[in-house]
């Protein structure tokens, strides 16, 4: 059985990464994955992990300390490190790792130098219209996630009623498609066979999908049956109305 030392959830926004990260963390055997290399969260994570940001000019020292702290946080006392990575943050992370491991032949080699043998989990959402709707509504309303009991889990700004905008929807959908395609091309370029899962499968059968990932990590798949989702869908009747309206408008063009 192939026991991986790390895994990266390769995704795009609103594809179910929070649900999957929660499930994996709650197994107690697969680390505590999070967006450690999200560009906008770099300073927050550094402060949270007690990594000094006093001298940003000494990039090598900072990146070395940061990576060490991230590995400890993302492993969380288990034998496996986990993280999630959106394509929009990929180039930034690649550059950061190349500073720590110069002269390596490929980006994949840099990942493995930093993280050890790595399993790549490609999480994508088939329904790109629904994905775009979900992202726009979250950005406009400020509400990104709710707990399984219906309480708000993550709100980044005061409530604001979402407003339908076909142009923004089209742009967001195109970005999702472009970034998903970029992941697929990178896998091919580096001869990687990722674990492929979809938002739809994860949402409908979270424990079954979790078992697939645990199997790829060399862990007991029966653990998946002991884990319950911590979040629930944000999509409502308005979300479905927006998606249907957008599809009708697109077909009429």
CATH number of the structural domain spanning residue 171: 3.40.50.300
With pLDDT > 90 as the criterion, what percentage of the chain qualifies?
79
Q: Tell me if 48 is assigned to some domain.
A: yes
Residue 1 maps to a domain: no
Please give the Cα distance from 144 to 137 (Å, whole number): 9
Q: What is the pLDDT of residue 56?
A: 61
Is 83 buried (19+), middle (13-18) or exposed (0-12) by CB count in 10 A?
buried
Residue 100 lies in a domain: yes
With cut-offs at 50, 70 and 90, classify the pLDDT of residue 94: very high
Whether 99 is in a domain gets the answer yes
Residue 45 tokens read as 């994570």
The tens digit of pLDDT for each residue in 7-65 reads 999 999 999 999 999 999 999 999 999 999 999 998 899 999 999 876 566 788 899 99
Predicted confidence (pLDDT) at residue 2 exceeds the cutoff of 70? no
Range of the domain at 88: 6-252
**Quick check: is 24 in a domain?**
yes
Q: Cα–Cα distance between 186 and 73 in angstroms, integer?
A: 27
pLDDT digits (tens, 9 = 90+) for 157-180: 787 789 999 999 999 999 999 999
Q: Which residues contact 89 (CB under 8 A, 6 or more apart)?
A: 35, 37, 38, 39
Q: Could you please report the per-residue DSSP string of 96-153?
A: HHHHHSTT-SSHHHHHHHHHSSEEEEEEE-S-HHHHHHHHHHHHHH-EEEEETTS-EE
Burial of 208 (0-12, 13-18, 19+ CB in 10 A): middle
How many domains would you assign to the chain?
A: 1
CA-to-CA separations, 86 to 30, 89, 124, 182, 208, in angstroms, rounded: 20, 6, 11, 11, 23
- pTM comes to 0.92
Residue range 73-93: average pLDDT? Answer: 97
Within a domain: 39: yes
pLDDT the model gives residue 161: 86
Q: What pLDDT does residue 197 have?
A: 97
Please report, in angstroms and rounded to a whole number, the separation of the first and last CA atoms in the chain: 52
Q: What percent of the chain has pLDDT over 70?
A: 96
CA–CA gap between residue 253 and residue 163 (Å, rounded): 22
């Amino acid at each position: 059985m192939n026991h991986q030392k790390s895994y990266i959830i390769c995704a795009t926004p609103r594809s179910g990464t929070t649900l999957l990260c929660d499930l994996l963390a709650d197994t107690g055997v697969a680390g505590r994955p999070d967006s450690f290399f999200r560009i906008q969260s770099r300073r927050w994570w550094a402060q949270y992990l007690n990594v000094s940001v006093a001298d940003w000019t000494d990039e090598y020292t900072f990146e070395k300390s940061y990576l060490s702290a991230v590995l400890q946080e993302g492993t969380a006392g288990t034998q496996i490190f986990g993280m999630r990575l959106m394509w929009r943050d990929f180039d930034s992370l690649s550059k950061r790792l190349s500073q720590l491991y110069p002269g390596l032949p490929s980006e994949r080699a840099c990942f493995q130098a930093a993280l050890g043998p790595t399993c790549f989990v490609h999480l994508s959402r088939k329904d790109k219209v629904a994905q775009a709707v979900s992202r726009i509504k979250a950005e406009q309303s400020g509400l990104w996630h709710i707990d399984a009991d219906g309480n708000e889990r993550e709100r980044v700004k005061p409530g604001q009623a979402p407003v339908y905008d076909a142009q923004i929807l089209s742009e967001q959908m195109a970005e999702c498609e472009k970034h998903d395609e970029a992941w697929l091309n990178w896998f091919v370029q580096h001869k990687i066979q990722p674990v492929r899962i979809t938002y739809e499968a994860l949402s409908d059968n979270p424990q079954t999908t979790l078992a697939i990932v645990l199997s790829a990590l060399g862990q007991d798949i029966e653990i998946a049956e002991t884990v319950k989702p911590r979040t629930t869908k944000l999509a409502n009747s308005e979300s479905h109305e927006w998606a249907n309206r957008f599809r009708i408008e697109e077909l009429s063009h």
